[in-house]
Amino acid sequence: MFFHVAKRMEQFGPSIFSELKAYKLKKQEEGQTIIDLSLGSPDLPPAAAVCETLSELAGDSSQYGYTLSGTKAFYQAVAHYYRRVYHTALDPETEIVHAMGSQEGLVHLPLVFADPGDTILVADPGYTAYETGLAVAGAEPYFMSLTKENNFLPDLSAIPEEVTYKARMIILNYPGNPIPAVANEDFFRKVINFAKKYNIVVLHDAAYSEFYFDSQRPLSFLSVPGAKEVGIEINSLSKSFSLAGARIAYIAGNAHMIRLITQLKSNLDYGVFAPIQAAGIAALNHAEEIGKTVRAVFERRRNRFVDELRKIGWLVDKPSGGMFLWAKIPEGWSSKEFSFTCIDESGVVMVPGVAFGKNGEGYVRIALVHPEEVLAEAAQRLAAVISERA
């Protein structure tokens, strides 16, 4: 049978993650033991209060109807979280909308703010879902280079004016993925002024907001004066609260933008399962204690793993936020060649930096998603590979 395939499918080829997974499975079938540091999937369980809430309500047959939207209680919990943690006021009725995980939100948001052919400013390297969202909307990316020399912040002054006047949205992500950089207030103020000058919607992806180290909490974009005039912030409960499979997130900020997003979502889905929203409320209401526990675990992992890598001659920067290392690879390899060689020779899976954009070449992303002892073993396994090109 012949059937037509939409041309847009050309933009949705197999991801590097699928390629890595297939190669990993092949090696496992051959008998190789694998340590997978590729996916940023939390390995810690949700807090007991979160699990108990979900378990109790899932047994209640009255909870299985459509929610249609975020519940009033969920929106109030988000607003209370921002007031406690960021000293930022949000109107739960007009400035918050829920999403089925931040991936869903990120992919659909360009549909609201960009027409086919419009430009959206995205980071290079950047999270792969951003380009997917652009492809869905038919928008064109303008890639803002992130370099170590500029602290992995985009240089807004380097964007040509003919681009800025066509741009409809700028997507930022701090603490970042794949680069665990952190933005400061001065940078966010520049972004706000830039957005006002060129009438550009700011989307800040804050999925790793609770992953910070050395007691240096990152800023919420919305906590900076003027931010709600120009933009929105999306945050998933997947990472910070170990609810990756539950698919619950929120988008907050400019009331008019939130109203438009709500309008779109009313045509796309019927809301997140009520018990999952209740579990999200429990997580947000216990955010301080949950976050403290998670951060302590990941800070120890960061310290141990970076130290072990340095012992084998791989000098990796120690991040101040996020759940990844962004590691410069030895000279003489491409990032993809290095990643697959590491699987072949050590059984350690990492993501080649080029998967996140051309400026990711020369790096790999490493997820801190195993206990310290496993990460230390991964470092020892990598010793032989690193020594080949040291």
Tens-place pLDDT, residues 69-79: 999 999 999 99
Q: Distances from the Cα of 92 to the Cαs of 82, 249, 372, in angstroms?
A: 11, 14, 40
Is residue 279 over pLDDT 80? yes
Measured CA to CA, the distance from residue 22 to residue 170 in angstroms comes to 34
What average pLDDT does this structure show over 233-260?
A: 97
Please give the pLDDT value at position 27.
Answer: 94
Please give the pLDDT value at position 278.
Answer: 98
**CB burial readout 76-109, b (16+ within 10 A) else e:** bbbbbbbeebbebebebeebbbbbbbbbbbbbbb
Please give the pLDDT value at position 70.
Answer: 95
Measured CA to CA, the distance from residue 153 to residue 172 in angstroms comes to 9
Structure confidence at residue 10 as a pLDDT band (50, 70, 90): confident
Of 12-26, 101-115, 182-196, 334-348, least confident by mean pLDDT is 12-26
Alpha helices per DSSP H over 143-273: 161-164, 185-198, 227-230, 255-265
Please give the pLDDT value at position 389.
Answer: 61
Instruction: Give the whole-number percent of the chain exceeding pLDDT 70.
Output: 99
Structure confidence at residue 390 as a pLDDT band (50, 70, 90): low
Please give the pLDDT value at position 17.
Answer: 83
Q: Which domains does the chain have, with CATH numbers?
A: 7-45+289-384 (3.90.1150.10), 48-286 (3.40.640.10)
Residue of higher predicted confidence among 310 and 215: 310
Three-state DSSP at 217 gives coil
Q: Which two tokens stand for residue 48?
A: 């007991």
Kindly report, residue by residue over 29-49, the tens digit of the pLDDT: 999 999 999 988 899 999 999
Structure confidence at residue 345 as a pLDDT band (50, 70, 90): very high
Please give the pLDDT value at position 52.
Answer: 98
Asked if 372 and 380 count as a contact pair (C-beta separation under 8 A), the reply is no
Measured CA to CA, the distance from residue 144 to residue 117 in angstroms comes to 18
**CB burial readout 303-332, b (16+ within 10 A) else e:** ebbbebbeebebebeebbbbbbbbbebeee
Q: Which two tokens stand for residue 253?
A: 């900020």
Positive or negative: CA dihedral 289, 290, 291, 296: positive
Structure confidence at residue 133 as a pLDDT band (50, 70, 90): very high
